[in-house]
Structure 1
Amino acid sequence: MKQPLITYIAQHKLRFLQYLLLAGFTAMLAACQKGEIPNLNTPQVDAITRNPTKEELNNLVTGAESGMRFTLNTYYDAVGIVGREIYRFAGSEPRFTSELLGGGSSTLDNNTFYITNPWAARYRVVRQCNILLQAAANSSFITDAQRKAYLGFAKTIMAYQLLLNLNMTDANGIRISVQDFEKPGPIVARNIALDSIAQMLEDGKADFTGSAVLFPLSSGFTGFNDAAGLLRFNRALAARVAVYRQQWAQALAALNESFFDLNGSLTTGVYHTFGTGSGDQLNPCFFAQNVTGEVRVAHPSYAADITPGDDRIQKATLRTAAASQNGLSSNRDVWIYTSNTAPIPIIRNEELILIYAEAKIQTNAFPDAVVALNRIRTAHNVAPYAGAVTQAALIDEMLRQRRYSLFYEGHRWIDLRRYNRLNTLPLDRPGDDVWQAFPIPQNENQ
C-alpha cells in the first residue's frame, strides 16, 4: 500500500518531486478539478501513458489548462510589487510590504510562498504536459493528425509555464529538462532557458501544422480552439519570447503568423477563465473596490505619471479612503479584474501591437513604430505622439505605453529589467530595494 502523501513528503527530499507533490496536494485541497492527476507516483503515470483513450487524453489537456490558473495571484502580486506597480496589504502577511520591497534590512527569502508556490504550480503543469506528450505518442485511439495537435498543445503550454518561472528567477535560471521528475536536469542559465523555450514553441508550431484538434478547451480559447487558432496563439507567445531574446526580425516574423492586428480589437486574445461552478476556480486576482484588510492598490506613481485624459486611469480607481500599511499608502484600487469570474489574459492583441512597435524601433523602422504607438495612444484617449523620432525617445514611449496598457498583467518589472532600467523605479522608504531576480527555491538547491 502506498504511504499517505504527507508521510511520503516528510520522509523524502527529492527536490523536484517534493514541489510537484506539494502543489498537487494544495490544489486538491482547493478544488478537485477534472483532468488533474491526483497522484504522480510512477504506477499511475504508467497506466495513463500506456495506451490512453481520447477521453483520457482530453482530461490531461483540461487538467493542464486548469492548472495554469493556480497561484496566478501570487505571481502577479510578486512581480507587481517588486516592479512598483502595486502594493499588497494584508494584516496576516507582512512580507508583501517588507521582503518584496526590500524594506529595511530584509531580503528575498528562497523558502517562502511568493517564490515556492508559483514555481511549484508552473512545474506541476509542465509535468502534466510531459505526461500528455508521452500519452499522445503511445495512444492507438487517435489519428496522426490528432496526435500532432496534442503534442503541439503540450509543448506550447510547457513553454509558457517555463517562461513565467524564468520571468521570476531571470539570471538565476530554471530547469528545462524535467521529463524524469525524480532526476530532473540541471538549472540552466537564462539565455539557454530562453533558447530552449523558443525551440519548444517552434516544435509546437511544427506539430500544429497539419494537425486536427480533438480536445475541448475553455471559453478562454474562443476563436483559438482549432489547429489554426492554436498556431496563432503559439506564434504570439513566440513573438514575446523573441523580444526577450532581442531577436527583432524573428519577433516580426512570429507576429505575421499570430493574431496580431494593428487595427483590430485590443482585447482579442487567449485568456484564463474562471467560474462559480462546482470544482471550478474563482479569479484569485479579484478584490472588490474599497475593501479593507486584504487590499491590492496601485502604486501612487501610476496615477501621478499618467497623461491627463488617459482612460487607463480606470484600471486604478479612487478609493473612498486611502489604504495604508507599514509606511506605504495609496488611494487607488487595482481594478483590472472587476469580478470574481473576470478572465485574465495570457496574451492579447494590445501586447502584440506593442511588441510590433518595439521590434520596429529596434530595427530603425521608426514611422511604422509611431503608427503602432499611436494606435495604442488614440485608443486610450491620448493625443498622437509628438516627441522626438529617435530610437531612444521611442523606446521611452514604448515602455510608457506598455506600463499603462499592460498594468498588473506581469510585464513592467520584466520590461524595465530587459532595458536595464530597474534603477528608475521609485524607492518609497529609506532602505527599500528593487530586486533583480527571485532566488531559486531552497529545496531546488539541496
Structure 2
Amino acid sequence: MKNIAIKFTKIMIAAAILTSCNPFEVDEIQDPNNPSVGSVSNNASPEQIQFLITGLEARHRSYVSNVVRAWGTFGREIWNLNASDPRFQTDWLGQNGRVPDRSYFGFGNTGGGSWASPYQAIKQADVLIVAGENTENISAEAKSAVVGFAKTIQGYQFMIPANWVYSNGIRIDVKDPLNPGPFVSYPEALDAIKAILDEGDAALQAAGSGDFPFTLTSGFDNFNTITSLRQVNRAILARLNAYRQDWQGVLSALDASFISLNGDLNAGPAHPYGAAPDVFNPIYYLPNAAVNTIIVVHPSMLDDATPGDKRVEEKFFERDQPVVVTTDAGALTGNYQDGRWESNTDPIPFIRNEELILLKAEAHAQLDQSSEAVAAINIIRNAAGIGNYTGGTSKEELIDEILYQRRYSLWAEPWGHRWIDARRYGRLDEIDTSYDSGTIFTEFPHPQAELSWDEYVGD
C-alpha cells in the first residue's frame, strides 16, 4: 500500500483539478496540508473525504517521537541521550532538582508532539466528522463509518494530554478554538473519552459489517473492515477502562476487541512509515552507529531482567561501543540500544494483542479472579521463554507480577506504559534513579502556551 505522502500528493492534484479551472491563479491556492474547513464542510466529495482520512492518519502518528522519548525517560525505560542538547538529560531526568514548569523543555512552550500534536489530530478528526455528516456524496453507511473512525482516533489522542498533565485536567470541548471549554479533572476527562469512544463504536456499528468504504494506510491492513475497526475501538477502550479502574469494563471491552489468547502477540494496528516523501520511523537508529544522540536502554531494565527472557534478547541490542554522554550530574552510559526495528521504514504498533492479554490479567487480578489472571500471565511468560508463574496469588502479588511483565512486554512502546503504570499504582518511588541522580515526575502543569491562549482570547 502506498505511503501517506504519496496519497496526499495524488489527492491534492485531484482536488486542484476539481476546484480550480486555472491552477496558476495564486490567490486560489490553499495550504494542501491544512485545507480550510469551509472547503470541505458542505457537500464534500469522496476525494475530499479520502484526503481528510489520510491526513488524520498522518496526524495520528505525530505524537510518537516525543511521547516515546519523554515518557520512556520519565519511567526509566530508556535514556534519550543527546550530547548536543543536555536538556534531554538534565531536564527530562529531573537532575539537580529540576521540576516541570509551564515552559519545561520539550513540552511547555509549544507542546510539540506532546501537547499540540494530539489536539491537532483531534481537530483534524472534527473536520472529518463535519465533512462526513454534511455531504450527500456518500451513503449513510459511509457517513457512519467516517464518523466512527474519526471518533476512535479522537479517543486515543485525548488520552495523551490527559496523561501528561494528569490531575491538572484537560479541555475536552475544543471544537471552537476561539471559545474552548473549561479544563476538566482527570476522572472527568477519562469519562468523556469513554463517551467519545462509545459514540465511535455506535457509529461504526451503524455502518454495517463490510469493508471500510475508504482507503486506509498499511497500518490498518488487517483492520480495514467495519468489524475490525470496532475491535480496535474496543481495544483502546480496554486501556482507558484500566485507567478508570473499571475492571469489569476492561473485560467487556476486551471481549469485543481483537484480543486472541492463542494469537500473534504483535497483532494490532500500527503507524506506518516510509522513505521520502513520507517520513522515517522516528525511533529507529542504525545498530552500532557512531553517534552520541540516540535512545538507549535504561540499565535497570538489564538489572531487573529474568534470566533467559526472550524479550531482552529480541528488544535490547548490545552495542560494540557504548554511548557516553556527560551531564552536570555525571556520565550516562548506554550499552544497549533499541533492537526492535529492521529498518527505518518499519511500522510502529500503537496497541497490540500482548497489551490486551496483560490488561485481561490485570482486570482478573483486580476482581480477585486469580486463576484467570494466572492463565493470562502464563501466556506472556511462556512466550518470553521464562515458564509458568509460580508466585503467590493474592491480588497484590499478582499485580506485582503483571506490572513487571508489562515493563518488558510493553517496553518503549508509543505510550510510556511504565511511567503511567507506576503512577496509577502509587509506585513512582520504585523507579530506579540511582544511575542518573534524577527525579521522577508525577505530572506536568499546563503549558504556558495553553494559558496564554486563554489570555489572548479574553482580550
Name the TM-score, length of structure 1 as normaliser: 0.89
Residue among 434, 443, 447 paired with 1:441: 447
**Pairs within 5 Å for 1:152-231:** 152-211=148-207, 213-231=212-230
- Which string of whole-angstrom CA distances, capped at 9 and with x for unpartnered residues, describes residues 124-174 of structure 1? 111110011111110001111111000001111011111122122211222
Q: Does 2:402 correspond to 1:394?
A: no
Query: Partner amino acid for 1:316?
Result: F
Distance in 2 (CA, whole Å) between partners of 1:435 and 1:55 is: 45
Distance in 1 (CA, whole Å) between partners of 2:125 and 2:256 is: 24
Q: Does 2:132 correspond to 1:136?
A: yes
Residue among 87, 90, 94 paired with 1:98: 90
Query: How many Å apart are 1:214 and its aligned residue?
Result: 1.2
Q: Does 2:285 correspond to 1:290?
A: no
Query: Partner amino acid for 1:145?
Result: E
Query: How many Å apart are 1:439 and its aligned residue?
Result: 2.4
- Equivalent residue, structure 2, for 1:120: 116
- Equivalent residue, structure 2, for 1:358: 362
Query: How many Å apart are 1:109 and its aligned residue?
Result: 4.3
Query: How many Å apart are 1:112 and its aligned residue?
Result: 5.0
CA spacing shift, 1:339–1:181, aligned 2, 3 Å: same
CA spacing shift, 1:84–1:312, aligned 2, 3 Å: same
Q: Is the 8 A contact 1:276 1:341 kept in 2?
A: yes
Report the number of matched residues: 415
Residue among 55, 59, 65 paired with 2:51: 59
- Which string of whole-angstrom CA distances, capped at 9 and with x for unpartnered residues, describes residues 12-38 of structure 1? xxxxxxxxxxxxxxxxxx999557993
Question: Secondary structure of the residue that 2:194 maps to in structure 1?
Answer: helix
- Equivalent residue, structure 2, for 1:262: 261
CA spacing shift, 1:189–1:38, aligned 2, 3 Å: farther
Q: Is the 8 A contact 1:336 1:408 kept in 2?
A: no
- Which string of whole-angstrom CA distances, capped at 9 and with x for unpartnered residues, describes residues 345-365 of structure 1? 111100000000000000111
- Equivalent residue, structure 1, for 2:322: 322
Q: Is the 8 A contact 1:105 1:431 kept in 2?
A: no
- Equivalent residue, structure 1, for 2:272: 273
Distance in 2 (CA, whole Å) between partners of 1:387 and 1:429 is: 29
- Which string of whole-angstrom CA distances, capped at 9 and with x for unpartnered residues, describes residues 379-398 of structure 1? 01111100011111100000
Name whichever of 76-85 and 421-430 sits farther off. 421-430
Distance in 2 (CA, whole Å) between partners of 1:430 and 1:265 is: 37
Name the TM-score, length of structure 2 as normaliser: 0.87
Name whichever of 114-123 and 329-338 sits farther off. 329-338
Distance in 2 (CA, whole Å) between partners of 1:191 and 1:40 is: 34
4+ residue stretches of structure 1 with deviation over 6 A? none
Distance in 1 (CA, whole Å) between partners of 2:186 and 2:257 is: 25
Distance in 1 (CA, whole Å) between partners of 2:410 and 2:150 is: 26
Distance in 1 (CA, whole Å) between partners of 2:169 and 2:333 is: 34
Distance in 2 (CA, whole Å) between partners of 1:329 and 1:187 is: 41
CA spacing shift, 1:33–1:175, aligned 2, 3 Å: farther
CA spacing shift, 1:349–1:130, aligned 2, 3 Å: same
Unmatched segments (≥5 aa) in structure 2: 13-29, 453-459
Distance in 2 (CA, whole Å) between partners of 1:412 and 1:33 is: 36
Identity of counterpart residues, as a percentage?
40
Name whichever of 364-373 and 107-116 sits farther off. 107-116
Distance in 2 (CA, whole Å) between partners of 1:165 and 1:249 is: 25
Distance in 2 (CA, whole Å) between partners of 1:71 and 1:47 is: 27
- Equivalent residue, structure 1, for 2:21: none
CA spacing shift, 1:440–1:40, aligned 2, 3 Å: farther
**Pairs within 5 Å for 1:3-18:** none
Distance in 1 (CA, whole Å) between partners of 2:78 and 2:196 is: 33
Q: Is the 8 A contact 1:81 1:96 kept in 2?
A: no
Q: Does 2:349 correspond to 1:345?
A: yes
Unmatched segments (≥5 aa) in structure 1: 1-29
Query: How many Å apart are 1:71 and its aligned residue?
Result: 4.3
Query: Partner amino acid for 1:312?
Result: R
Q: Is the 8 A contact 1:282 1:341 kept in 2?
A: yes
Distance in 2 (CA, whole Å) between partners of 1:147 and 1:381 is: 46
Query: Partner amino acid for 1:356?
Result: K
Distance in 2 (CA, whole Å) between partners of 1:375 and 1:56 is: 45
- Equivalent residue, structure 2, for 1:10: none
Q: Is the 8 A contact 1:104 1:430 kept in 2?
A: no
- Which string of whole-angstrom CA distances, capped at 9 and with x for unpartnered residues, describes residues 264-287 of structure 1? 110111000111142x11100111
Q: Is the 8 A contact 1:99 1:109 kept in 2?
A: no
